[in-house]
Every structure is written in C-alpha cells, then in structure tokens.
Amino acid sequence: MLSAMTKISWFDSPTTVDEGLANADRARAAGLHRYWNPQISATDPMVVLGIVGREIPEIGLGTSVVAMQTTYPQNLAAQARTINQVSGGRFTLGLGASHKLAMEGAFGIPWNKPYTHMVEYLDALLPLLSDQQVSTTGEFVTHHVSLDVPGPTPDVMLAALGPKMLKLAADRTSGTITWMTGPKTIASHIRPGMSPDSWIASGVPVWITDDPESARKRGGEGLAIYGQLHSYRAMLDREGMAGPADMILAGDIATVRAGLDAYKEAGCNEIALNVLGSGDDLEGAWELVESMGGEI
C-alpha cells in the first residue's frame, strides 16, 4: 500500500567528499529520508556513500543512478554490499540502463536491447546481492561467481519509464526512480505501471527564488541535455512540457511546496530534491526542507 506520507530526500552531486559529508549530515539533521548521489562527472557515488555511511548515522543512502553498462554485476554487488555493511543496512542501489547518446557517443559502448540486457543483469546481480553466488549464462551477461561480503542485503530500485521496464521494476525490485517526469505523468503512466506496493522516488528540480522566470531560463540551460534523450523526451511530451526548464519548480517557498504537494497527490512515495541555485537560493531550499520535517 502507498505510504500516507511522502518522504523528502536530498539529491546531491558533491565535487568533494567533505561537501558530501556536510550535505548528508545537514539532510540527516533536517529529518530527510535519504541522501542520493548520481553517477555523473563529479565524485564517485559508491565511494562518497561508503564514507557517508560510515560517518553519518540514520539517514538512508542511495545511488540515482548507476548505469549497468559501466560495471560487471559482481563488482557492483560487492560495492553495494560493502556500503550496506558499513552503513548498517541503509543503502539502496539505484540502477539504470543509461541512454544511447551517452553509451555510444561518450563511451563507444553499443546500445543494444537495453531491456533484455537489464533482465540478464538482474539475473546476475540480485542473487549476488542476496545469496552472494550466481550461475547464469545470457546474451549480454554471463556470471559464474560468488562473493564474501558479510552484512544485510541491499535494496534495489530501477530507473524505469517505459511500460516493460516499469513492470520489471515492479516484479523484481522495490520500485522505480524517475527524473524529468511530472505529476500528471506519474499519476497516469508511472503509478499504473507499478504494483500497488511499489515505491516511486521522483527526482524533482527545485529553485527557491524571487525571479522564477530567470531561474527556469538559467536552470534549463544546464538541464537541456535531458530534452534530447529519448526516454526523458517522452516523459516531457506526456506532461505537455516544451523542455526541461518547464519541469523546474521555481518560486518562493510556498510556491515550491505547493508543487511538491502535486507529486504527493500523483502517487509518489518519495521526492528527491535536486536543488538548483546557490547562496541565498540554496539556503532557501534548506529552509524549506527543514520546515517540512522530512515528509509531506
């Protein structure tokens, strides 16, 4: 069943470990549900979250997300179990299939049957996360290996937007992590594609500002790539948005809070705030979350 309350989390892309520690600790003090890190061009999320898990108590930890093509299931399972060991079971492995533009354009990795690849990846990964051994042979993933990393089994969530991947997330993981997906689309497409007890964590760009028009313009420039990636473009079209800039919840605290309420009403269990801006605008975001007590 859906939670009566929607949890609030902090999405962070720290450029230093110390920055990550400071933000995770402030998120913990604010009562936030989870501290998410992405796999992008900043610090390595698995390293940062391992250190945060050791140093900062209580708050949940998660990757949003790691691309399956970038590492073997055995390596990722060992990393995930290690983070879960040092954090006392607070780690969630957010996993995705990335995008054709990124995989082929940036890394020269063929983009071929991402759904089948993900199924086979989970065939290897999930047993390694739980029983720590697997024997599976597939078109993309073959693993006959084992691990020895004591501790609890990490949770897993998928970055899923299409119908087949949503069903896979519902059938084999705890739920899905969305991005560039608005409340109308979550209510009409994402939630119906999941099982009733599946967890939906939605990444939402927010900017606390007294000049929302300028903020959307500036923020949209940094987010422009998401309008060019097929899966996100499809979600923007479903929402009726011209581009990523339109997805930014920009305005004063009351305006942004009202926008977050729409995500709750759409069926989100968790909202991960991707905070834009700096200085007073950033402090405004902290003021917002600290006033909410970690949920709405």
**In the predicted model, what is the mean pLDDT of residues 261-279?**
98
Mean pLDDT rounded to a whole number for the chain:
96
pLDDT at 2: 45
Average pLDDT of 195-199?
A: 95
pLDDT band at 251; cut points 50, 70, 90? very high
**For residue 112, what are its two tokens?**
């071929």
* pLDDT average, residue stretch 174-186: 98
Question: Can you give the pLDDT at residue 186?
Answer: 98
Q: Which residues contact 92 (CB under 8 A, 6 or more apart)?
A: 34, 60, 61, 62, 63, 154, 155, 156, 157, 174
Q: Which CATH superfamily is domain 7-292 in?
A: Luciferase-like domain (3.20.20.30)
Per the CB < 8 A criterion, the answer to whether 96 and 67 are in contact is yes
Mean pLDDT of 185-197: 96
**pLDDT tens-digit map of 63-119:** 999 999 999 999 999 999 999 999 999 999 999 999 888 888 888 988 899 999 999
- The pLDDT of residue 127: 98
Q: What is the C-alpha separation between 285 and 250, in angstroms, rounded?
A: 11
Number of neighbours of residue 268 by Cβ within 10 angstroms: 28
Residue with tokens 């998120």: 27
210/219 Cα distance (integer angstroms): 14
Structural contact between residues 132 and 259, judged by C-beta atoms closer than 8 angstroms: no
What mean pLDDT comes out for the span 246-275?
Answer: 98
Q: Give me the residue label for tokens 């919840």.
A: 249
Which amino acid is present at 293? G
Domain ranges of the chain: 7-292
Q: Judge contact between 294 and 30, C-beta under 8 A.
A: yes
Q: What is the mean pLDDT of residues 147-172?
A: 98
Confidence of residue 1 (pLDDT cuts 50, 70, 90): very low
